[in-house]
Structure 1
Amino acid sequence: MSSLISGIKGTTQSLTALRRPWRDFFDISTVDLPSSTSDATTRIAQNLTHFRLNYTLILLLILFLSLIYHPLSLLTFLVILLAWFFLYFARDREEPVVIFGFFIDDRIVIAALFGLTVAGLVLTGVWVNVLVALAVGVGFVILHAGLRSTDDLVMDDLESPYGNVLSGGDDELDSPRGDYSGI
């Protein structure tokens, strides 16, 4: 039981560390129209990477609000969310999932949780509400990510959606060119 509580505590702390301050997220001075389609896609990729937990929380809030008048569906959603948390997010990736003595692969866990999620939505009859809520949420996320300038974002190479390609490191082994030298 103490390992479960420490696992939940560790996961919560790591997720909290990923969340960016809401004042940075909603900073109105950073809103600017992108100059081109390329600029918009770059902004979307960088903002989705930088604010991923903030965007996830907004999507979950919109989904929660869409289910507020459907208590059975809301309860089902919370149970499925707990299943996702305990079976996928809160567990150590080094340890396999063991159910009835069988080792279960991560892909099977994800497929089973996805199937459980879809079945829960269909059986409670709110799948249309959820699809509309997700469409509204994704629309908001894409709109925010495209309009928010990335000039003030500080991202390291591990966080960048482009990897260390954009870095100007002096170490040749970490270079995107590998260990080749110029002629």
Structure 2
Amino acid sequence: MSTLISSLKETAQSLTAIRRPWRDFLDITAVDLPSSFSDATTRIAQNLTHFRLNYTIILLLIFFIALIYHPLSVLTFLVILLAWFFLYFARDREEPVVIFGFTIDDRLVIAALFVLTVAGLVLTGVWLNVLVAALIGVSFVVLHAALRSTDDLVMDDLESPYGHVLGDEELDSPRGDYSGI
């Protein structure tokens, strides 16, 4: 039980560390139209990386609002969310998943959780609510990410969606001694 609590604390601290301030996320002065399609896609990639936890919180809030009048569905998806959390997101990637003495591959865990999620949608009868909520949420996220300028964002090279292109001398790079421009 203490391992579970320490794991929850550790995960909460790591999530708190990557959440960006809401005043930066909702900064009206940073909103302007992208100059081109290329600029919009670059903004989307950078904003999705920089504000990933903020966008996740907004998507979860939209899903919760869509299911508010379906309490059984909310409970079902809370259980499924906990399953995703413990079996995929909060676990150490170096340690294999062991269920009932069987070691399970990551792809199998994802496939099983996906099937569990779809079964939860079908069995509770809220798949249409969730589909509409997902469309609304993704539309909001993409619109915000495209319209929010990235000029004021401070990102580490490794956090950037282009970090693999920029390079880092401390990482083993297949490019050898070449450095980013």
Shorter-chain TM-score category?
over 0.9
Structure 1: runs of 5 or more not aligned: none
TM-score by length of 2: 0.92
- 1:142-161 alignment, distance < 5 Å: 142-161=142-161
* In structure 2, C-alpha distance between the alignment counterparts of 1:6 and 1:172, rounded to whole Å: 31
Higher deviation after alignment, 82-91 or 151-160: 82-91
* In structure 1, C-alpha distance between the alignment counterparts of 2:4 and 2:170, rounded to whole Å: 43
Q: 1:151 to 1:104 in 2, by over 3 A?
A: same
* In structure 1, C-alpha distance between the alignment counterparts of 2:20 and 2:171, rounded to whole Å: 32
* In structure 2, C-alpha distance between the alignment counterparts of 1:166 and 1:32, rounded to whole Å: 27
Q: 1:178 to 1:112 in 2, by over 3 A?
A: same
1:165 is displaced (CA, Å) by 2.7
Aligned to 2:163: 163
- Counterpart residue identity of residue 156, structure 2: D
- 1:50-129 alignment, distance < 5 Å: 50-129=50-129
| Preserved CA contact (<8 Å) 1:31 1:147 | yes
Q: 1:65 to 1:96 in 2, by over 3 A?
A: same
Q: How many residues align?
A: 179
Of structures 1 and 2, the larger Rg is shown by 1
1:166 is displaced (CA, Å) by 4.0
Q: 1:126 to 1:179 in 2, by over 3 A?
A: same
Give the 3-state SS of the residue equivalent to 2:161 in structure 1. coil
TM-score by length of 1: 0.91
Aligned to 1:178: 176
Do structure 1's residue 21 and structure 2's residue 21 form an aligned pair? Answer: yes
- Counterpart residue identity of residue 6, structure 1: S
> Structure 1 vs Structure 2: percent identity of aligned residues?
84
Give the 3-state SS of the residue equivalent to 2:13 in structure 1. helix
1:91 is displaced (CA, Å) by 1.7
* In structure 2, C-alpha distance between the alignment counterparts of 1:124 and 1:98, rounded to whole Å: 29
Q: Deviation per CA, 1:32-60: give whole Å up to 9, x if none.
A: 10000000000000000000010011000
Structure 2: runs of 5 or more not aligned: none
